[in-house]
A and B are shown apart, each in its own frame.
Chain A
Amino acid sequence: MKKRITIVEDNTVIRETFAVVINNTVAYQVVAHYATCEEALKNLDCDSPDLVLMDIDLPGMNGIDGTIQIKKRCAECIVLIITVLEDGEKVFRSLCAGAGGYIVKNSDTDDIVRNIDEAFNGGAPMSLNIAKMVVASFNRVQNSPLTEREKEVLKGIAEGKSYSKIALDLFISKETVRSHIKNIYKKLEVNNKVAALKIAGSNRWIN
């Protein structure tokens, strides 16, 4: 059975052509595409997507808040950000909000499908600048939730090493590197929720 995908992107051309690329694959089908988060959220239950491709700058609710809402209602659903620039602050904030990775809008057809495959199989891409922001985010908390191996993988990415080089240095496979990255993303989301709660608690916003 094909995996169900929805697209949230306000640029009609990009939205529709992304849908064509995905519908041309054997494994995936686009069940719906929307110009706004509000529409996507309204139809979330009936669409019941396995993966949502989400733009960040949208009219009305932005993609970061949209990601939070989707993850809240459907924790198993993977959100992949579609972006022009892959290493911006907004992409990082989307990852903290629960997105499982990102796809550059200008990617090759093969890259788009490969990124979706990777998101399902574990291990979305992570760039050097995003890795640096992730490191900084985990440094904020006293007890890092990352395992030693995950720290080594993250350090390798932040130093500019390719996945193959990290795999070579740590005597592991490229697939294992990717699965570590997936876990780092998951912990980043949890970590940021914890950090947000701690900040809120220290400011007596919650009891």
Chain B
Amino acid sequence: MILILIFFKTSQSDIPSGFKVILGDPIYVLLINCLITLFFGGFLAYLQMDQERDRLKMRALQDRRIDELDDAVKKRTEELNTMRENIATDFHDETGNMLSAITRQATYLKLKIQAGTEVHKIVESIIFNSKSLYSSSKDFLWHLNHNSDDAEELFAYLTAYGQFYYNQFDIAFSSGSQMKGSKQLPPSAALNLIYIFKEAMNNVVKHSGANEVIFKMAIEENKIVFALQDDGQWKPSDDLQNHYGLANITARCEKNGFNKIIVKESMGTRLEIEVPLKISYHG
């Protein structure tokens, strides 16, 4: 259309004859114009097509690379999962049996040795250490093999431990959570919380004389609160700090950025551990 308009205007206009000599006939001008337009148009279209082809090539390359990376990540994850499962199986088949064998042999030795002697104490210490190693290996394996950063999973694990532990005594144990939905704990928080509450549960039995223990979990602004409540009468003359094995608990809290609160009530004591959901680590 534009070219026809130019042609029409050119043929109608009063161009000086000097220009007509230089430019020639309007049809000739139109043809030249058309050729130039076609040439550049075609060139531009070619460039665009070329760019589009390169872009598609690049996209295909990127997609292939992403797929490769996806596959590699999937393969690695599978390898890690298999490795975790193997570690758990190995523990069950090898380490667990070996530790059980040590405990059983030491127990046999204990039966053969007179109580109160120095050797008897050493054998008792071997049994204690073997059982401790067995217990901490189980905690570590659980941490490795489960979604241990999920607060709900950790709460269930500690509840199961509390149930098993207090079943050995005449202590009523129950648990309750006011949390809805899963919350992600900071890395390595779970293992430390396991050690903290195992120690606390143990100390309640040793020192509080409680009949009932309740383990609770609740969510408050940007923090999860785990609490162990007992109805025991801790001896007033005793240092509560020592009862809870608080040196260890305090150290773990400080290292992991947890906040520890002990509430003494008329009907027992409550140990609260607050875990901020965003934590800065020290050490």
Residues on A lying within 8 angstroms of B by beta carbon are 11, 13-14, 17-18, 20-21, 24, 57, 84-88, 105-106, 108-109, 111, 125, 127-129, 157, 159-165, 167-168, 174
Contacts and interface: CB of A to CB of B under 8 A. Distances in A.
6 contacts: A11-B100, A17-B104, A21-B104, A85-B96, A106-B131, A174-B170
Given A20-B111, A127-B163, A165-B212, A160 B174 contact: yes
Given A106-B131, A164-B166, A17 B172 contact: no
Contacts of A157: 163
B114 to A, nearest CB: 15
A125 B164 CA distance: 9
A168 B172 contact: yes
A206 B145 CA distance: 40
A168 B173 CA distance: 10
B105 interface: yes
B101 A13 contact: yes
Binding site secondary structure of chain B: helix
B100 A84 contact: yes
A18 B101 CA distance: 10
Given A14-B104, A160-B159, A84 B97 contact: yes
A11 B101 contact: yes
A6 to B, nearest CB: 17
A159 B100 contact: no
Interface of B: 91-93, 96-97, 99-101, 103-105, 107-108, 111, 130-131, 134, 138, 156, 159-160, 162-164, 166-175, 212
A11 B97 contact: yes
B273 to A, nearest CB: 18
What 10 pairs across the A-B complex have the smallest Cβ distances?
A84-B96, A17-B104, A160-B159, A105-B100, A165-B172, A162-B173, A13-B101, A128-B160, A164-B172, A162-B166
Contacts, number: 100
A109 B107 contact: yes
A174 B166 CA distance: 13
Contacts of A105: 96-97, 100, 104
Given A162-B162, A165-B172, 7 more contacts: A13-B101, A106-B103, A160-B156, A160-B173, A161-B172, A162-B174, A168-B212
B105 A162 contact: no
Given A20-B111, A127-B163, A165-B212, A106 B100 contact: yes
Contacts of B159: 128, 160
Contacts of B93: 57
B12 to A, nearest CB: 93
A14 B97 contact: yes
B167 A163 contact: yes
A108 to B, nearest CB: 8
A21 B159 CA distance: 31
A132 to B, nearest CB: 9
B91, B159, B169, B174, most chain A CB atoms within 10 A: B174
B136 to A, nearest CB: 12
Given A11-B101, A128-B163, A160-B160, A85 B92 contact: yes
A14 B172 contact: no
A159 B111 contact: no
Nearest to B211: A164
Contacts of B166: 162, 164
A177 B97 CA distance: 31
A102 to B, nearest CB: 12
Contacts of A14: 97, 100-101, 104
A18 B100 CA distance: 11
Nearest to A161: B174
Nearest to B214: A165
B92 to A, nearest CB: 5
